[in-house]
Amino acid sequence: MNFWLQIFANPELYAATLAMATPIALAAVGGTFSERTGVVNIAMEGIMLVGAFFGVMVAAATHSAWLGMFGGVIAGGLMALALAWPAIRLQSDQVVVGMALNVFAGGLTAFLLNTVYGYNGTPTSTPSLPIVTLPWISNIPFIGQVIGQHDVVVYLMFLFVILGHFTLFHTNLGLRMRAVGEHPEAAETVGISVVKIRYLGVMIGGMLSGLAGVYLSLGMLSSFDVNMTNGRGFIALAAMIFGKWTPFGAFGAALLFGFATALSISLQGSGVSANLIGILPYALTIIALTGLIGRSRPPAADGLPYVATK
Amino acid sequence: MALLEIRGLCKSFAHVVANADVYLDVEAGTTHAILGENGAGKSTLIKMISGLYRPDSGEIALDGAVQHFASPRDAILAGIGVVHQHFMLIPAMTVAENIVLGTERQRDAATPRQSRLLFNRKRAAASVQELSESLGLPIDPWARVETLSVGMQQRVEIVKALYRRARVLILDEPTAVLTPQETEELFAVIRKLNQDGIPVIFISHKLDEVRAIASTVTVMRAGKTVRTAPVADATAAQLANWMVGRDVILQSRKEEVAVGDSVLEVKNLSASDDRKTEKVRGVSFSVRRGEIFGVAGIDGNGQTELVEAIVGLRKVNGGSVHLLDRDIGHMSVGERIARGIAYVPQDRQQDGLILSFSIAENLQLREVSKAPFSRRGWLTRAAARKRAQQLVEEFDVRPPVIDASAGSLSGGNQQKVILAREMSRNPELLVAVQPTRGLDVGAIEGIHRYLLQLRAEGRSILLVSLELDEILSLADRIGVMHAGEMVAVMDNQNVTRESLGLAMTGKWSEKEAIS
Ligand SMILES: Nc1ncnc2c1ncn2[C@@H]1O[C@H](COP(=O)(O)OP(=O)(O)OP(=O)(O)O)[C@@H](O)[C@H]1O
Ligand SMILES: [Mg+2]
The reported pLDDT for the residue numbered B18 is 92
**Span B119-145, mean pLDDT?**
89
Residue from B93, B99, B79, B108 nearest B198 by CA: B79
Q: pLDDT band for A48, please (50, 70, 90 cuts).
A: very high
Residue from B265, B299, B337, B119 nearest A175 by CA: B119
The reported pLDDT for the residue numbered B510 is 55
Residue B305 CB-half CA count within 13 A: 28
Chain A positions touching B119 (Cβ under 8 A) are 169-172, 174-175
The reported pLDDT for the residue numbered A108 is 93
What total of structural domains would you count in chain A?
Answer: 1
d(CA B500, CA B20): 45
Asked whether residue B109 carries a pLDDT value surpassing 60, the answer given is no
ipTM: 0.83
- CATH assignment at residue A244: 1.10.3470
Is the CB of residue B28 less than 8 Å from the CB of residue B210?
Answer: no
d(CA B401, CA B413): 12
* Residues in contact with A227: Cβ distance below 8 Å, sequence separation at least 6, in sequence order: A49, A106, A110
* Residues in contact with B254: Cβ distance below 8 Å, sequence separation at least 6, in sequence order: B452, B473, B474
Chain B positions touching A189 (Cβ under 8 A) are 50, 52, 72, 82, 84, 88
* Nearest CB to B119; choose among A172, A192, A193: A172
Share of chain A above pLDDT 90, in %: 53
What is the pLDDT of chain A when averaged over all its residues? Answer: 88
- Give per-residue pLDDT as tens, B456-465: 888 899 999 9
- Look up residue A295 and give its amino acid: R
Do A175 and B72 lie within an 8 Å CB cutoff?
Answer: no
In a domain, A304, yes or no: no
**Domain range holding A123?**
2-292
Burial track B247-281 (b if 16+ CB lie within 10 A, e otherwise): ebeeeeeeeebeeeebbbbbeebbbbbeeeeebbb
* DSSP 8-state class, residue B144: B
The reported pLDDT for the residue numbered A181 is 94
The least confident of A100-114, B95-109, B438-452 is B95-109
Backbone torsions φ then ψ of B318, nearest 5 degrees: -175, 165
Burial of A26 (0-12, 13-18, 19+ CB in 10 A): buried
* Nearest CB to A170; choose among B104, B106, B119: B119
Q: pLDDT band for A289, please (50, 70, 90 cuts).
A: low
- Give per-residue pLDDT as tens, A1-10: 677 787 788 8
Is the CB of residue A285 less than 8 Å from the CB of residue A260?
Answer: no
Do A171 and B119 lie within an 8 Å CB cutoff?
Answer: yes
d(CA A210, CA A49): 8
Asked whether residue B515 carries a pLDDT value surpassing 50, the answer given is no
The reply to whether A310 touches chain B by the CB within 8 Å rule is yes
Instruction: Please give the C-alpha separations between residue B314 and each of A256, B264, B268, B305, B309, in angstroms, as whole numbers.
Output: 38, 17, 15, 7, 5
* DSSP 8-state class, residue B175: T
Is the CB of residue B117 less than 8 Å from the CB of residue A172?
Answer: yes
Asked whether residue B375 carries a pLDDT value surpassing 70, the answer given is yes
The reported pLDDT for the residue numbered A26 is 97
Task: Specify whether the backbone of B67 is left (phi greater than 0), alpha (psi in -120 to 50) or beta.
Answer: beta
The reply to whether B72 touches chain A by the CB within 8 Å rule is yes
Q: Give, for B464, the enclosing helix (H) or strand (E).
A: strand B460-464
B210 versus A308: the higher-pLDDT residue is B210
Is the CB of residue A197 less than 8 Å from the CB of residue A187?
Answer: yes
Is the CB of residue B405 less than 8 Å from the CB of residue B355?
Answer: yes
The least confident of B244-258, B269-283, B372-386, B406-420 is B244-258
Asked whether residue A149 carries a pLDDT value surpassing 60, the answer given is yes
What is the pLDDT of chain B when averaged over all its residues? Answer: 86
The reported pLDDT for the residue numbered A248 is 95
Chain A positions touching B115 (Cβ under 8 A) are 172
The reported pLDDT for the residue numbered A1 is 63
Asked whether residue A211 carries a pLDDT value surpassing 90, the answer given is yes
**Span B415-420, mean pLDDT?**
87
Q: How many CB pairs under 8 A join A and B?
A: 81
The reply to whether B383 touches chain A by the CB within 8 Å rule is no
Q: pLDDT band for B511, please (50, 70, 90 cuts).
A: very low
- Look up residue A269 and give its amino acid: G
Residue from B15, B18, B26, B2 nearest B224 by CA: B18
Q: pLDDT band for B508, please (50, 70, 90 cuts).
A: low
Asked whether residue A55 carries a pLDDT value surpassing 80, the answer given is yes
- CB under 6 Å to ligand 1: residues? A 309; B 13-14, 16, 18, 36, 38-44, 85, 398-399, 408-413
The reported pLDDT for the residue numbered A293 is 59
Is the CB of residue B319 less than 8 Å from the CB of residue B268?
Answer: yes
Strands B429-433 vs B378-379: parallel, antiparallel or unpaired: unpaired
In a domain, A299, yes or no: no
Mutate to test the pocket of ligand 1, among B82, B173, B204, B410 (most ligand atoms within 8 A of CB): B410
**Span B109-134, mean pLDDT?**
79
Asked whether residue B263 carries a pLDDT value surpassing 80, the answer given is yes
The reported pLDDT for the residue numbered B246 is 79
Query: Closest residue (by CA) to atom 25 of ligand 1?
Result: B38
Chain A, window 181-220: residues with a beta carbon less than 8 angstroms from a chain B beta carbon: 182-183, 185-193
Query: Closest residue (by CA) to atom 2 of ligand 1?
Result: B408
The least confident of A50-54, A61-65, B398-402 is B398-402
Query: Closest residue (by CA) to atom 5 of ligand 1?
Result: B408
* Nearest CB to A175; choose among B54, B76, B119: B119
Asked whether residue A78 carries a pLDDT value surpassing 50, the answer given is yes
**Span A278-299, mean pLDDT?**
70
**Span A276-302, mean pLDDT?**
72
Ligand with an atom nearest the CA of residue B38: 1
Structural domains of chain B in order of their starting residue, each with its CATH number: 4-244 (3.40.50.300), 260-340+428-515 (3.40.50.300), 351-426 (no CATH)
Do A309 and B90 lie within an 8 Å CB cutoff?
Answer: no
In a domain, A167, yes or no: yes
In a domain, A102, yes or no: yes
Do B52 and A189 lie within an 8 Å CB cutoff?
Answer: yes
In a domain, A242, yes or no: yes
Chain B positions touching A185 (Cβ under 8 A) are 88
The reported pLDDT for the residue numbered B110 is 47
Task: Specify whether the backbone of B223 is left (phi greater than 0), alpha (psi in -120 to 50) or beta.
Answer: left
In a domain, A298, yes or no: no
Burial of A216 (0-12, 13-18, 19+ CB in 10 A): buried
Q: Which residues make beta-bridge pairs with A133?
A: A149
Interface test with A, best of B100, B101, B122, B145 (most A CBs within 10 A): B101
Residue from A237, A270, A230 nearest A25 by CA: A237
In a domain, A305, yes or no: no
* Sequential DSSP letters for A132-161: EE-TTGGGSTTHHHHHSEEEHHHHHHHHHH
* Residues in contact with A283: Cβ distance below 8 Å, sequence separation at least 6, in sequence order: none
Helix and strand numbers, DSSP H then E, in chain B? 17, 22
The reply to whether A171 touches chain B by the CB within 8 Å rule is yes
The reported pLDDT for the residue numbered A10 is 84
- Give per-residue pLDDT as tens, A159-183: 999 999 999 999 999 999 999 999 9
- Give per-residue pLDDT as tens, B22-53: 999 999 999 999 998 888 999 999 999 999 89
Query: Sign of the C-alpha dihedral, residues B409, B410, B411, B415?
Result: negative
Chain A, window 214-273: residues with a beta carbon less than 8 angstroms from a chain B beta carbon: none
Q: End-to-end CA distance of chain B, in Å?
A: 61
Asked whether residue B513 carries a pLDDT value surpassing 50, the answer given is no
How many residues would you count in chain A? 310
The reply to whether A165 touches chain B by the CB within 8 Å rule is no
Helix, strand and coil percent figures for chain A, each rounded to 5: 70, 0, 25
- Give per-residue pLDDT as tens, A86-109: 999 888 889 999 999 999 999 999
The distance from CA B185 to its chain's CA centroid, rounded to whole angstroms, is 18
- Look up residue B378 and give its amino acid: W
- Taking the centre of ligand 1 as the mean of its atom positions, its distance from the CA of residue B41, in whole angstroms, is 6
Asked whether residue B223 carries a pLDDT value surpassing 80, the answer given is yes
Chain A positions touching B84 (Cβ under 8 A) are 189
Asked whether residue B140 carries a pLDDT value surpassing 80, the answer given is yes
d(CA B158, CA B286): 42
Do A178 and B91 lie within an 8 Å CB cutoff?
Answer: no
The reported pLDDT for the residue numbered A28 is 96
Task: Specify whether the backbone of B51 is left (phi greater than 0), alpha (psi in -120 to 50) or beta.
Answer: left
Per DSSP, the three-state class of A64 is coil
The least confident of A21-25, A276-280, B324-328, B449-453 is A276-280
* Residues in contact with B514: Cβ distance below 8 Å, sequence separation at least 6, in sequence order: none
